[in-house]
Structure 1
Amino acid sequence: MAAPTTALHMTGHLAPVPDEIDAVDLPVEGVLPPELIGRYLRNGPNPLPGEPSRHWFTGHGMVHGIRLREGRAEWYRNRWVRTKALAGESMISPTGRVDHSVGVANTHVIAHAGRIMALVESSFPHVLTPELGTVGPFDFDGRLTTAMTAHPKTDPVTGELHFFGYGFAPPFLTYHRLSAAGELVTSAEITVPGPTMMHDFAITDRHAVFLDLPMTFSLQRLATGMPYGWDDSYGARIGVMPLDRPGEVRWFDVDPAYVFHVGNAHTDAAGRVVLDAARYAPADAVAMWDGLPNSSGHDPAGHAAAAAATGAARLHRWTLDPATGAVTETPLADRPVEFPTVDDERVGRDARYRYAVADTGDSAGIVKFDAVTGSVAEHTVGADTVAGEAVFVPSAAADRAEDDGWLLTITTRRDGSASQLLVLDATDVGGLPVAAVTLPRGVPSGFHGSWITDEEIGG
């Protein structure tokens, strides 16, 4: 009898770590900008030691944190999010009821209204302390009755947090809005044909933008560990909802595709909604989904980010006209990328630059896309290393240019042996790192994170 093989999402740069550690006074190459005063936190799946894991997406949330202050990397620590799922509870009761207080909290970590929240799209957020301890699940004083997306959007002008919840049972889609003070003030159900995997969405200064795409729920797929998959029969639509009329959505039919991650959106001078995202064409979506790391032995070398010729996403633009119903689609770049990000101060507004992860398997790095010139600059980390999502941190200059700031990313050797926090000059992405912090362990390639200043959480 052949010996059982280890699932590939449990090996190399994806391999979970077995414990929680603390380290202080981390080694720094180069010079950390003294303006960087805060915490870089990044979330990702990390099964418990010895725990079987059928799919990369389903591991328990673990947040890795690096504390920067006055040119020093003061500490690194990692903590599992202490969820009910970590304690062995199921989010599905014996009667079939969904308990949104149970979830793995493994996808993102953000700050809003003084709260640090670990997010996964199947459950309530979990509040964390600044030291990464778990306070517990949070339903906004009983007002949240659906799951919360892992990709909420903060309006940089109003401070409001816009998000949605989706599910495999009605209501399939619900829009929500938090005030700048963190109070849930709006919830509105949105009608869609069925249960789709809506991972991300966008806002403009006037609209919310929803992606109703053909990745649908099926009970038959549960055996694979992920109950969603490509569905040719579902169709593809993008919905535009005026923020002052919650629940009223104008739908635009688009070419079939899938989107994990939005780059940004804005409303142009003509009132049209312009949406940029990392788009998978149908064949690429199927190849990507089938290749995601799971116990059957596939390995995409990253969360839909292995930028091989097949199964890769590319930056794409949709221009949607609510007045006429017209929609145009435009490829922005042929380069395969994932994890697109933007300056948080430009969310929902016209932005010149996008940042993303590129990985061909032979080379990996961070790319900067200029929407005005179409040019792409890249910081390469080499063939033996992978880069994570690049988070933009603005400089403190009052009159700064859009790209005046830094990009923070955790890089990990493909064999999982070592990691660094890289600080790149966003104005010169292709140049040498401004600083590199050596982390005390290999940090598994994960999903999403945030730069959280002391002011956001009170120190």
Structure 2
Amino acid sequence: MTTTPSTAVSESSAPPPHLAGNFAPVADELTAYDLPVTGTVPPELTGWYVRNGPNPQDADSPHWFFGDGMVHGVRLEGGRARSYRNRWIRTSTFVDGIRGVDAQGRRNLAAGVANTHIVRHAGRTLALVESSFPYEIDCRPGHELETVGPHDFGGRLTTNMTAHPKTCPTTGELHFFGYGGSEPPYLTYHRADAAGELVISRPLDVPAATMMHDFHLTARHVIFMDLPMVHDRNRAGMPYSWDPEYGARLGVLRRDDPHGEVRWLAIDPCYVFHSLNAHDDGEHRIVLYVSRYAALDGRATPYLWRWTIDLASGTVAEEQIDDHLGEFPRMDDRLAGQPARFGHVTAAEGPGTGAIPGALLRYDLQTGAVARYGFGSGRTPSEAAFAPADDRPGGPGWLITYVYDAATDTSDLVILDAEDIAAGPVATVSLPSRVPYGFHGNWLPDPAE
């Protein structure tokens, strides 16, 4: 019997989902100037839009979360898209192959991939990953997004740092935490003042090391999420396992008593990567908005939920806001921790989810109305950051995102009017390279003279 050899790629030889399609890394660092624009770049926008994400330099990594960090930045100025550049973050892991744990099991907090977020505080722009120290990068006008080096707050930071710190718009303080480790304390709360000096580091008592990606800040409280993704040292790759028997709870700490009692309140088992916002509602209530998964077992999808903490009764009311799938919730960060009327969520595919129609959604958290813009077949947005149009918190502004076009294997920077996203882009900037799917970014306006 004669057989014909198959020319099909076997399932085992295909790349894993987090290295396929637009999850695959790009190979080169590029710089390009005077980018083509369709529409009009708002002339008020002067600064950088910078987004971070995993881009393994050897084109391989065991999990989407583990690739070397690469920032992609577009400079807007004078109604023009002046330049684009992408740069790997030169961590010690990237440069010298140094890993976060040595052969003796000791942690090296200066080693990491710095691949998750970009934030600015006290004049520093920090690339963050939750397993290590942040790395400072240079976003000054005329600079190339170069890596400055690790930042440990003058030697005061002795834990890793979350990728989702919160800046209080009233005090200018930066609130954050570090989690993990093989021994207690598994969680430490930190606070830096408006000048960037680390002034509080307070260990918190939790029963196990759980994956705590984000948390909440209000004018009077810090709220932690102790959820059932529990550290599992025997698990290959991602060292956390979904364990609903662990339970789920919210921990409330008063900002004016940072070394005081943490009140832990039970909620239904679930997982949250990202919070939208939180605020105090009277003396005894706290309202939180989250992108919530019913489980983190490979099947659940995220939806926007509202949690209302009643400190008087010690209970939490939980309600799903609607049935639109969405992640990467963002808002006008000048209202962080305060009542904010609007929030924005991205609908897009993740590794292994299959095709999901790419869209941005704008939630009116007062009326419940939802505005939507769909990008069309094969066009997928990343997280959309808010860029204010003026100095009024909660006022007009723009949403800025990278959008991948599968038909052309290219990416654009897209700008939408946040108050009328259904009208579609006000400007689309053509980029010289595709931008792989990544995590978080920010609009970084030039500092005032």
TM-score in same-fold range (> 0.5)? yes
Q: Cα deviations across residues 202-236 of structure 1 (Å, max 9, x unaligned)?
A: 10001111000000110121x2x210120122100
Stretches of structure 2 that go unaligned for 5 or more consecutive residues are 1-8, 350-354
CA RMSD, 1 decimal: 1.6
- The question of whether the paired residues in 1 share the 8 Å contact of 2:334 and 2:393 is answered with no
Instruction: Determine the structure 2 residue equivalent to 1:341.
Output: 330
CA distance in 2, matches of 1:415, 1:121: 34
3-state SS of paired residue (1:428): helix
188-197 vs 265-274, which moves further:
265-274
3-state SS of paired residue (2:246): coil
Bigger relative CO (Cα 8 Å, ≥ 6 apart): 1
Considering only CA atoms, is the larger Rg found in Structure 1 or Structure 2?
2
3-state SS of paired residue (2:62): coil
Map 1:417-428 → 2, pairs under 5 A: 417-428=409-420
CA distance in 1, matches of 2:409, 2:395: 32
| Alpha-carbon shift at residue 444 of structure 1 (Å) | 0.2
**Which stretches of structure 1, 4 residues or more, deviate above 3 A after TM superposition?**
none
CA distance in 1, matches of 2:28, 2:185: 38
Aligned residues: 428
- The question of whether the paired residues in 2 share the 8 Å contact of 1:32 and 1:72 is answered with yes
Among 189, 206, 217, the alignment partner of 2:220 is: 206
Map 1:12-411 → 2, pairs under 5 A: 12-49=21-58, 51-86=59-94, 87-130=96-139, 131-169=144-182, 170-221=184-235, 223=236, 225-247=237-259, 248-282=261-295, 285-288=296-299, 311-359=300-348, 361-396=355-390, 400=392, 402-411=394-403
TM-score between both structures, scaled by the size of structure 2:
0.92
| Alpha-carbon shift at residue 12 of structure 1 (Å) | 1.1
| Alpha-carbon shift at residue 394 of structure 1 (Å) | 1.2
| Alpha-carbon shift at residue 11 of structure 1 (Å) | 1.8
CA distance in 2, matches of 1:359, 1:39: 24
CA distance in 2, matches of 1:119, 1:160: 17
| Alpha-carbon shift at residue 85 of structure 1 (Å) | 1.1
Amino acid at match of 1:321: D
Stretches of structure 1 that go unaligned for 5 or more consecutive residues are 289-310
| Alpha-carbon shift at residue 93 of structure 1 (Å) | 1.3
Q: Cα deviations across residues 274-325 of structure 1 (Å, max 9, x unaligned)?
A: 111001113xx2125xxxxxxxxxxxxxxxxxxxxxx211111111122331
CA distance in 1, matches of 2:358, 2:63: 23
TM-score between both structures, scaled by the size of structure 1:
0.90
CA distance in 2, matches of 1:431, 1:36: 20
**Quick one: percent identity of the two aligned structures?**
51
| Alpha-carbon shift at residue 408 of structure 1 (Å) | 0.4
CA distance in 2, matches of 1:405, 1:5: 42
| Alpha-carbon shift at residue 401 of structure 1 (Å) | 7.5
Q: Cα deviations across residues 27-86 of structure 1 (Å, max 9, x unaligned)?
A: 11111111100100000000114x431111100000000011110111100000001111
The 1:246/1:81 distance shift into structure 2, 3 A limit, reads same
| Alpha-carbon shift at residue 387 of structure 1 (Å) | 0.5
The 1:230/1:416 distance shift into structure 2, 3 A limit, reads farther
Instruction: Determine the structure 1 residue equivalent to 2:4.
Output: none
- The question of whether the paired residues in 1 share the 8 Å contact of 2:332 and 2:393 is answered with no
